[in-house]
Amino acid sequence: MDMVNGVLNWVGTTAMVASLLLFYPPYYLFKTCYSFLSWLFPEDLTGKVVLITGASSGIGEQLAYQYALKRASLALVARRESSLQQVADRALELGARDVIVLPGDVSAPDDCNRFVQTAISHYDRCAELIYLVLQDINFWGSVQTTFAALPHLKRSRGRIVVTASATGWNPVPRMSFYNVGNFFFHPLRQQDFISACWDFETLPVSCTELGSQVGITVVTPGWIESEMSKGKYLKEHGEVEVDQEMCDAQIGLFPVEYDKNCAKAMVQAAQQGERYLTVPAWFRAMYLWRVFAPEVVEICYRLLYMHGHGARQADTASRTMAESGGKQLLYPTSLRSEEIKSD
């Protein structure tokens, strides 16, 4: 076996690289032509039913507005009913055919079943296309919502648009990974969030009865304007806290994309039947660095994110550069204000 593996390590790697070089040009040409045709003839969303979780703020809120501009019918889900109602009112003004507000917690299986069934009963359009747009950091919430909606998605040949995390293939250091709950998410929740990308990728294969009846669009955003990029996070027992300094240290000199631009790109990718989307597009280059020069990436992370012994976790070079002008140049105005939704 050692000899066989040794031969395969050399021959197999060489053959794989050679075949990739031969295969990629025609494949890329096909993808380009397909994308161009899909751009010319996008799917008409007028009257289609779109269920969006996490719709009370950030990307989820902007998705509601973008689908409203496409004349879709919306079902908006989040825990904050008052914020949801404001989003619903604005969506109707922008042209949504109909909007229903469904307060609920996607981490609760009963809630997932309730808001999916309520949306189906309200619209009574199982024959129409249903878009399920999952905007939640809790992996099991996405799984439970998908499970509840899957029979209807299959019947209507719908599409799941799931937001995972670009850190699934380009992990960024978490300064407080070992200090549970001090930054962004509980580490287990963060790991769930990252793994969502891979689990939804394999759904059409692992779920054999699904086949090609339900489309999948996996979105891996970089840093996007949101409550999280303002430093709002959940502590270990679900308490909400805001730590802008730690968030600035995490983002550093990474440009932050507007949530509106991210939502617009997501809707367009779903209309065109795209399987993958990274927002902003330049962030995909980070993957190449990670694959071909991992040592360089590690050195950069050490220089940017490590802090001296006894220093505060936020006292890093990345935060210093952000405070020295990077934040004014590279962050949206909303991230430079102290206002944040607290309900």
Active-site positions read: 178
Q: Could you give the C-alpha distances from 29 to 217, 231, 288, in angstroms and in order?
A: 21, 42, 20
DSSP 8-state symbol, 176: T
> Residue 30: which region, alpha, beta or left (left: phi > 0; alpha: psi -120 to 50)?
alpha
Q: What count of residues does the chain have?
A: 343
- Three-point CA angle 49, 54, 57, nearest 5°: 110
Give the dihedral sign, CA 144/128/164/98: negative
Are the C-beta atoms of residues 167 and 297 closer than 8 Å to each other? no
What are the beta bridge partners of residue 98? 73
Beta strand 232-234 with 240-242 is: antiparallel
Residue 160 DSSP SS3: strand
3-state secondary structure 183-252: CCCCHHHHHHHHHHHHHHHCHHHHCCCCCCCCEEEEEEECCECCCHHHCEEECCCCCEEECHHHHHHHHC
Candidates 32, 18, 62; CA nearest to 221 is 62
Determine if residue 142 is left, alpha or beta; phi over 0 gives left, psi from -120 to 50 gives alpha, anything else beta.
alpha
How big is the CA angle at 259 (ends 255 and 265), to the nearest 5 degrees?
Answer: 95
